[in-house]
Amino acid sequence: MLKKKDRYNVAVVGATGAVGNEMIATLEERDFPVGRLRLFASEMSEGRNLKFRDADIPVEILNEDSFIGIDIALFSAGGERSRIWAPVAARSGCVVIDNSSQWRMDPEVPLVVPEVNPHDLEWHKGIIANPNCSTIQMVVVLKPIYDAAGIRRVVVTTFQSVSGTGKKAMDELMQQTVAILNFKPVEKNVYPHQIAFNCIPHIDSFLENDYTKEEMKMVNETRKILGDDSIGITATTVRVPVFRCHSESLNIETDKKITPNEVRAVLSAAPGLVVYDAPEKNISPLATDVADRHETYVGRIREDESTENAINMWIVADNLRKGAALNAVQIAEKLVEMA
């Protein structure tokens, strides 16, 4: 467990990536008690400087001694690098908060969303997993409903922005859009299909059950976070031509009856959520409005009239913030609070 201090030495691994940049910005915006900040990335980024609190912080390359004296390491460098370096960091005595999928389903590693299962931090052994971006925003909404009425089944369809793939995907959307508007050929490098003015009905590779890895992450991670393997969950994940923010359509079947107004009341009282739901005024969460915000926004709350005890809703969150960097920093904040 983290030792109580006034200031904590923090490392960000994968600092030059989209999520790494957001981690640095979030640490500063939330005034996390950083003593010393060290930034790590690949050899390609060596020699660069990144800003933190008006200081230029050099980007370094990882080695076996990089984590000596570090209290908390935020990882956003991909699963393979996490597999290699997270145990090195943990052995050096720091707590790793990892944003990759490498450790999420490891039974020895807690998978944490602070608004949902902060108690799981108590049994970490040096590595804590940050859930998948699409899972995080969904479980923040599911938890209050689960506590109020129980959940039997969830049907989710995601509409995920290209920033979930990274900067190269964002650049590709921009380049394809410009090409199409100028009647020029479209180049495809990041995605197997054109993403501009299009929707791609699968994210990540396919598994033997014809679901994708992204879809099964949502199934398995949700059950682990909520601590309930009995919940039926089915997912369809879609990549859409939006730069930032993931949107999700949820159908939630509850154990007992809960009305739309009761759902609004429960969600309004829950941490990390904003109920933004006034259809008569054409008010619903939009990706263009939620970008750069920390909360998960919920709207289109209505009863599913085709079956008993079911609710439909629409949720939107910034996948780089709550879906990645913010959740990781919130975990760090919770560790400091528990120290």
Task: Please name each of the domains of the chain with its CATH number.
Answer: 8-131+324-338 (3.40.50.720), 135-319 (3.30.360.10)
Active site residue 246: yes
pLDDT grade, residue 10 (50/70/90)?
very high
SS (H, E, C) the chain: CCCCCCCEEEEEECCCCHHHHHHHHHHHHCCCCEEEEEEECCHHHCCCEEEECCEEEEEECCCCCCCCCCCEEEECCCHHHHHHHHHHHHHCCCEEEECCCCCCCCCCCCECCCCCCHHHHHHCCCEEECCCHHHHHHHHHHHHHHHHHCEEEEEEEEEECHHHCCHHHHHHHHHHHHHHHCCCCCCCCCCCCCCCCCCECCCCCECCCCCEHHHHHHHHHHHHHHCCCCCEEEEEEEECCCCCCEEEEEEEEECCCCCHHHHHHHHHCCCCEEECCEHHHCECCCHHHHCCCCCEEEEEEEECCCCCCEEEEEEEECCCHHHHHHHHHHHHHHHHHHC
Per the CB < 8 A criterion, the answer to whether 108 and 125 are in contact is yes
Place of tokens 């949902």: 116
Please identify which of the residues 94, 124, 202, 246 carries the catalytic annotation: 246
pLDDT grade, residue 260 (50/70/90)?
very high
Residue 147 pLDDT > 80, yes or no? yes
pLDDT grade, residue 211 (50/70/90)?
very high
**Residue 78, pLDDT score:** 87
| Cα 118 to chain centroid, rounded | 16
Model pTM greater than 0.85?
A: yes
Q: Rounded mean pLDDT of 88-117?
A: 97
Active site residue 124: no
pLDDT grade, residue 47 (50/70/90)?
confident
Please identify which of the residues 133, 202, 245, 294 carries the catalytic annotation: 133
Q: Count Cβ atoms below 10 Å from residue 180 Cβ, excluding itself.
A: 14
**Residue 45, pLDDT score:** 87
**Residue 71, pLDDT score:** 98
* Of 285, 273, 249, residue with least CA distance to 155: 249
**Residue 46, pLDDT score:** 83
250/91 Cα distance (integer angstroms): 41
Residue 101 pLDDT > 90, yes or no? yes
Per-residue pLDDT tens for 309-329? 999 999 999 999 999 999 999
**Residue 120, pLDDT score:** 98
